[in-house]
Structure 1
């Protein structure tokens, strides 16, 4: 039985609460805390001018604003601290607050603790958003009132009293959100794991351990779903706290989902044929299998089949943009890691003109070069990592004595123009950066939309 939200209401009333980071999810959180009678202070690195209208609105509501570069130094004497997901718990200021007796938590942690509905949590290095959206769509198609949140959708903690026990909730959870988590969803999926976010995490072990929190606190009857084909996720088998299901595109699995003879199965029952699926690529077959495992106790196979046959994908994920002069352009801006880019490349039926590069997350690019070169016709590089990626590919070109043109772009628009100039009728151009967007754009959506805008204005 989950904790009652009434307990949280009693706990937070009259308390001195700090909300660190005035972002998208924290604005509704601030309103909720105010409504529950908390004394709220909002902390942010930005100053009043940078926050603009938001600062004015919060001040009018009676929120004490603590702003500017040294804002964390004032994080003393608070009873409750809601931290933003990307903020490390081992920061000296947070550690000092903890020693002083502060309860440090996050919006997502408290939501999972008090949400009355069954929660399906999805994490992994790649495929999180597609798998989350598939689960959401299948549950909705079955007739459940379904909510989606976490990394996508809307902040849900502020809506918790609108969610009933019979509803279903699907959450996409990042390693940052999971890092300090001490509660787990009833159904937890780890799609796959590979080096990622090593600019934020101390090392790969810390990244993996953060991901494990999605199932670390599960109960005996809860369900963990692991990718059998991924070495790291499969190694977690003995750590399952409750029931365990697996999925595989390489071998048959009696209790779980698998791909065999061009068909997708769940618990040895056929769901659909590969030719009926709209999503491109075997990585999306994996995403479907993971989703089938997640919902197998709550929906009919006919519902799974219907969604598999109709779901065309999520924006910015191998998204077809347009065809111009016989050249097809695809937006795969979500591909912020080498493994995700590799999965996208393999989905096409011919070598592509690849636009890659961006913010450096300290991830090695050698795997992309060593496994991806045969799927690339021309490589166009842009952003902070362009020289790093170039060096990885040049080593493979030299070792394997192959020809692979590498074009260096001055900026994002130049990258698209260079790709267009090198393309001939029948070619495919894909933006699949293998990097985060933060060197040039605030997020991958803005990057993808910019790409689509440039492509759609080509003539």
Structure 2
């Protein structure tokens, strides 16, 4: 057992440890913690052990204590350690009471940060996190480093700990829910942008911003910070930076960071030297927002990987699933899956990726974020709008109230399912048209996450005759 794993074992052995929920990462950790000698309690809204399905047998085999049902948070009392899941709101009173009583409240990601022996690169933001994180991991891999990719993307990190060596690099996507209680920050931190999001979970916009700032607040020099220049909130985070702060921007030249030059070259400016490293025409990723993601990723690894690696990856990487993902061409109509469009800003970026008006499928779960910014973009870029879910009427209201709506000729229809939405979009399409799913809303009304939503859309589209 390596040193870091030994330290984790010493932390949990003989301790009372409560896990909030039995998600994928917690199921792995519960088994590990029981093996390390912890007395584990599982706190969950489910009413009985049978409600856990196949996992019920594991619960019985491991001898896990249960605190279930309406009062499941009663299980927080008397615990030495509580592991929360990112979806559990940090400032709920029972959790804060446990902290006040001396309980250590942490999470899988926080424990990984505590014990990880290698350099950590962290990425957060309202938009662009996953593509930026993925690009950074590809840069390091192509440069010959062993990469551990996780956090809000892919696999849980803490179970990887036995395989992490000091010369490796961990590339971690971090959501506001994960960051809100973090007490360590990565050596290299990227904040893409901060726009209204998840206001159904955060008490207000300030709490959301403060959660994002945690990626910077606990850095220890030498360190690096990459901030989006075009976003007022990220630009305002400069006082939080303790190391070498650089920008990324598509709209301005800068003498400190990565930028898109007027002649179409992606460039990096640092220490008085401007280095062009890739032509925009050679980038395979679709959309100007992805140029920004590529600039952010390049700025993060600059000086850590060779320029030739950035050039090679930047000119061959085609994107991540559910992000303006081509699905198929049928009857001359091209279908795209942009299910990652869980907020207006993401959907706006998707719409701006096309040089023609599209047929848009939008709407879903309501996160209580404003839709007025989406309205002018829909009018400018959409010719037929198919709406579904709780936010459908809110999107329609914002669009209809825009002064340019009457003259736009925009048709609006409603669907009661994804199948129905695809059928309505297909009926409205002519050869040469583009149909894109980009909901500007979360998926939780009908789906557990945006990935499941996107895969159902793809399945329906691929089944069309």
What is the aligned partner in structure 2 of residue 196 from structure 1?
197
SS at 1:70 equivalent = helix
**1:344-383 equivalences in 2 (<5 Å):** 344-383=350-389
**8 A Cα contact 2:399 2:405, kept in partner:** no
1:278 to 257, 281, 284: 284
Residue 65 of structure 1, CA deviation: 2.4
Change (3 A) 1:111 1:419: same
Q: Distance in 1 between matches of 2:381 and 2:405?
A: 17
What residue is the counterpart of 1:266 in the other structure? 268
Tell me how far 1:220 sits from its aligned partner.
Answer: 2.1
Q: 1:225-304 alignment to 2 at 5 Å?
A: 225-260=226-261, 261-267=263-269, 268-304=274-310
Rounded Cα–Cα distance in structure 2 between residues aligned with 1:438 and 1:89: 20
Work out the CA distance in 1 between the residues paired with 2:453 and 2:202: 24
User: Does the 8 A contact of 1:41 with 1:64 survive in 2?
Assistant: yes
Q: What corresponds to 1:109 in structure 2?
A: 110
Gaps of 5+ in 2: none
**Residue aligning to 1:23:** 23
The equivalent residue for 1:37 is 37
**Alignment-derived partner of residue 172 in structure 1:** 173
Residue 423 of structure 1 is matched in structure 2 by 429
Instruction: State the number of aligned residues.
Output: 457
Secondary structure of 2:32 counterpart: helix
Counterpart of 1:366 in 2: which secondary structure? coil
1:314 Cα deviation after fit: 0.4
Q: Deviations over 1:78-134 (max 9, x none)?
A: 111111111122212112222221111111111112101111101000111101110
Q: What is the rounded CA distance, in whole Å, between the counterparts of 2:254 and 2:280 in structure 1? A: 18
- The residue that corresponds to 2:392 in the other structure is 386
Q: Which residue of 1 aligns with 2:219?
A: 218
Please say which of residues 82-91 and 442-451 is displaced more in the overlay: 82-91
Query: Alpha-carbon deviation of 1:398?
Result: 5.7
Does structure 2 conserve the Cα–Cα contact (< 8 Å) formed by 1:397 and 1:404? no
- Cα distance in structure 2, aligned partners of 1:375 and 1:137: 32
Counterpart-to-counterpart distance in 1, 2:417 and 2:54: 32
Gaps of 5+ in 1: none
CA distance in structure 2 between the partners assigned to 1:300 and 1:307 by the alignment? 11
Rounded to whole Å, the distance in 1 between the matches of 2:50 and 2:427 is 43
- Following TM superposition, by how much is the alpha carbon of 1:35 offset from its aligned partner in structure 2, in angstroms? 2.4
Quote how far apart the aligned CAs of 1:315 are: 0.6
Compute the displacement of 1:282 (Å).
Answer: 0.8
Task: Provide the rounded CA distance (Å) in 1 between the counterparts of 2:148 and 2:215.
Answer: 18
CA offsets 1:176-220 (integer angstroms, 9 cap, x no match): 000111110111100111100010011111111000001110012
* Maintained 8 Å contact 1:397/1:403: no
